[in-house]
Amino acid sequence: MEPDMDRADSTETASVILHNVSKTYLLDAVKVPALTDINLVIRPNRFTVLSGASGSGKTTLLNLIGCIDKPDTGEITVSGCKVGELSDDDLSDFRSKNIGFIFQNFNLLPVLSTYENVEYPLLLAGASAKVRGERVTKLLKAVGLSDKAKNLPGQLSGGQRQRVAIARALTRKPKVVIADEPTANLDSKTGTAILALMRYMAERFQISFIFSSHDRDVVKAADDIIYLKDGVIQDPRRKAGGSAP
Amino acid sequence: MMTLSLALRNLLRNRRRSLATLLAMAIGSTSILLFGGFIGLIEYEMQTRNVQRGGHLQIQHRDFFLYGSGNPTGYGISDYPNILAAIQKDEILRGMVTVATPTLQFGGIAGNYVANVSRTIIGNGVIADDINHMRLWNDYNLRSVAPISALDGSAEDAAVVGTGVARVLQLCESLKISNCQKPAAAPQTETESLSDDIAQLIMQETPNETGINPQRIEVLVVNTRGAPNVTSVEVIRAEDQGIKELDEISIMMHLTKIQQLIYGKSTPKATSIMIQLHHTDQIPTALERLAPILADASVNQPLAVLDYRILNPFYVQTVQMFNTMFGMIFVLIAAIVLFTVSNTMNTAVVERTVEIGTLRAIGLRRAGIRRLFVTEGALLGVCGSVLGIVLAVILAAVVNRMDIRWMPPTYVESVPLTILVWGETRMLLGTTFGLICISILSAWWPAYRAAKLDVVDALRHV
């Protein structure tokens, strides 16, 4: 299918472009197509949701956009960089600099405090102590966890952990944040608050958030929605800031 | 720093498992160090005893060590006083040498003809004062003390024999040697069968019945002209030589006495010049300084310097044997440590698979993952080794205070058991370094596996 969304006006400024991307998994000896011939443009600074039933290929697509998986065929461009051409180390560096991750299970490092978890990507980047201090303090304040800086993840609630994860994802000012079912393990009230926080952060820091989610509230909150079925895009839709297909 | 901190925290995260691993390493390290400390004691005891008896170096005729036992006096050093003087004259050597003394080895027959017994002997003529001075050498501060030779200050015709010689010559009673019983049955006498010349010599030297000294024996040697020469000596003490074969042939006499017997009015010689240094590690320097002295002295006679290791092959063999045992034990313990650490790290990798995926997703390179787990292994190695050292030092101190006694190889008297751990820098560093390397090696494979994990698979791990 054609990359209907914003093909005309946004390929140069798009956050992510997928061109003829396919991915197949081997389940025992059987080849299972996860994504088939995906063409897609994701607009910058928007909330984009990948939606669909279980096994539709949402997470696979998210993994490919997040550069933690590679397509069998096709080309992926993230923030203007053709990631298929990068070596493993270069991909790591690219992810560190350009992509933030928010996981369903938060995936914080349990031995690091809230502050250290948020600081970790900056340590990887070799940032100075001053830069790290300023950035982490600012982010913790933005997610409302300044008073929990010294707490370990085990001492935080689910919502607080996800807020730490959001702060960590934004530490290096990425262009794209990948969020795999970010509200799945949260109650609806906390989920709503987390969504609101992500919306606020996206606007404040000019970031593209790309979700995979079943959650109706998440889908409702999205600017763009991409429906997947059996590894094929069914219905790309734009809710705000652009034309519908 | 970040990797180290993260590695340390990860180890502290599962304290029980880390502690079990540390204890396994520490016990391994302690075992190695205690055994190493024990064999260190054996080495020091044997080295000390050898140096006390024969010095660090001996100047000899080039062929004396290999062929001299057949005709010791045939390999005498003619101008040994000049060599001794040259050693004293060398400023550097003088500062290193504690004793430089001549000795004359000889072979012959010792007989107690009153008891109608005799046996072949190999003896040494020594300067008794120098011999006792040499026996004070204790560079390793061992708690055992070498017995002082009774020859010092004794009459010129005094002799000290091995207890085996005393037993065979039936001197035990007069010398009051314990555990030295007379034979159950009297041996058949063979006096009549002695050759005429020996019998004549015996008759000349044998005192009248009324003047019998039960400690006097006759020593027969061959002089430089090939003629037999006999002298009567008084055995003033029997000393156990530690090895039965040596104990049954050993005799020590004053150098001047044996020189008179062998060389008569000719210029006396010595078969060796024993040189004892302050410290064993001075041997290379001493050899360098001795080289020109020997070159001068070797004009008319080929001389060589042999160190105590060549002179005492049993010492070298014993040390090698214990070192081999130490190596075997180290390898066995290292294998246990390797599997213990490896098992711990493998478990950690499995448990932390999702974390590995997360770290990789947020930008840590494969090398960073490897570094993290290898650092954890290294930390286990460092902590386990240090704990092992502490335990070994404490246990060694406890054992050393218990005053347990034992008998090292070739010793005839028991000495306090001392396990040398503290201060044995080479052993401590070697063991620590070895165990850290093994820990790193153990962690390498799990770390490699962790780094090879696919990010998506790792994140999906349950």
**Per-residue pLDDT at A6:** 42
Helix (H) or strand (E) holding B96: helix B91-96
Which chain A residues are within 8 Å of B363, Cβ to Cβ? 92-93, 95-97, 121, 124-125
Backbone dihedral angles phi then psi of residue A77, each to the nearest 5 degrees: -120, 125
DSSP assignment letter at B187: P
**Per-residue pLDDT at B397:** 93
B344-376: per-residue pLDDT in tens?
999 999 999 999 999 999 999 999 999 999 999
Measured between alpha carbons, how far is A177 from A209 in angstroms, rounded to an integer?
5
B171-198: per-residue pLDDT in tens?
888 888 877 777 766 655 555 545 556 5
**Per-residue pLDDT at A238:** 58
**B302 CB contacts (<8 Å, ≥6 apart)?**
B61, B62, B63
Measured between alpha carbons, how far is B76 from B259 in angstroms, rounded to an integer?
11
B21-71: per-residue pLDDT in tens?
999 999 999 999 999 999 888 899 889 989 998 999 999 998 888 888 777
B244-302: per-residue pLDDT in tens?
888 889 999 999 999 998 888 888 999 999 999 999 999 999 999 999 988 887 777 88
**B420 CB contacts (<8 Å, ≥6 apart)?**
B37, B40, B41, B44, B396
Q: Select from A63, A92, A103 the Cβ nearest to the Cβ of B364.
A: A92
Return mean pLDDT, chain B. Answer: 87
In the numeric block, which tokens belong to residue B408?
């090292």
B375-385: per-residue pLDDT in tens?
999 999 999 99
Measured between alpha carbons, how far is B169 from B116 in angstroms, rounded to an integer?
8
A49-89: per-residue pLDDT in tens?
998 888 889 999 999 999 999 999 999 999 889 998 899 99
Per-residue pLDDT band for B404 (boundaries 50, 70, 90) equals confident
Q: Which residue has the tokens 């990789």?
A: B360
Q: Which residue, among A66, A82, A72, A61, has the nearest Cα to A23 in the 3D structure?
A: A72
**Per-residue pLDDT at A205:** 80
**Per-residue pLDDT at A242:** 39
ipTM of the complex: 0.89
Which chain B residues are within 8 Å of A68, Cβ to Cβ? 357, 360-361, 455-456, 459
Phi-psi region of A94 (alpha: psi -120 to 50; beta: other; left: phi over 0): alpha
Nearest CA distance, A101 vs chain B (angstrom):
7
Q: Which residue, among B415, B461, B384, has the nearest Cα to B145 in the 3D structure?
A: B415
Q: At what angle do helices B2-13 and B15-54 cross, to 10 degrees?
A: 110
- Torsion on CA atoms B122, B136, B291, B268, rounded to nearest 10: -40
pLDDT in tens, chain A (245 residues): 333 444 434 444 678 999 999 999 888 788 888 999 999 999 888 889 998 888 889 999 999 999 999 999 999 999 889 998 899 999 999 999 999 999 988 899 999 999 999 999 999 999 999 999 999 999 999 888 899 999 999 999 988 999 899 999 989 989 899 998 888 777 888 888 888 888 888 888 888 999 888 778 788 888 899 999 999 988 666 554 433 33
**A197 CB contacts (<8 Å, ≥6 apart)?**
A143, A163, A166
Please report the residues numbered 90 through 109 in chain A whose beta carbons come closer than 8 angstroms to any beta carbon of chain B: 92-93, 95-97, 101, 103, 105, 107, 109
Q: Pick from A23, A62, A63, A68 the residue to mutate for testing the B interface (most B CBs within 10 Å).
A: A68
Distance of CA B454 to the CA centre of its chain: 58
**Per-residue pLDDT at B204:** 58
Please report the residues numbered 168 through 207 in chain A whose beta carbons come closer than 8 angstroms to any beta carbon of chain B: 168
**Per-residue pLDDT at A9:** 45
- Torsion on CA atoms B325, B329, B331, B333, rounded to nearest 10: 180
A177-192: per-residue pLDDT in tens?
999 888 877 788 888 8
pTM of the model: 0.77
**A12 CB contacts (<8 Å, ≥6 apart)?**
none
Q: Which residue, among B7, B450, B5, has the nearest Cα to A116 in the 3D structure?
A: B5
Residue B426 CB-density burial (10 A; 0-12 exposed, 13-18 middle, 19+ buried)? exposed
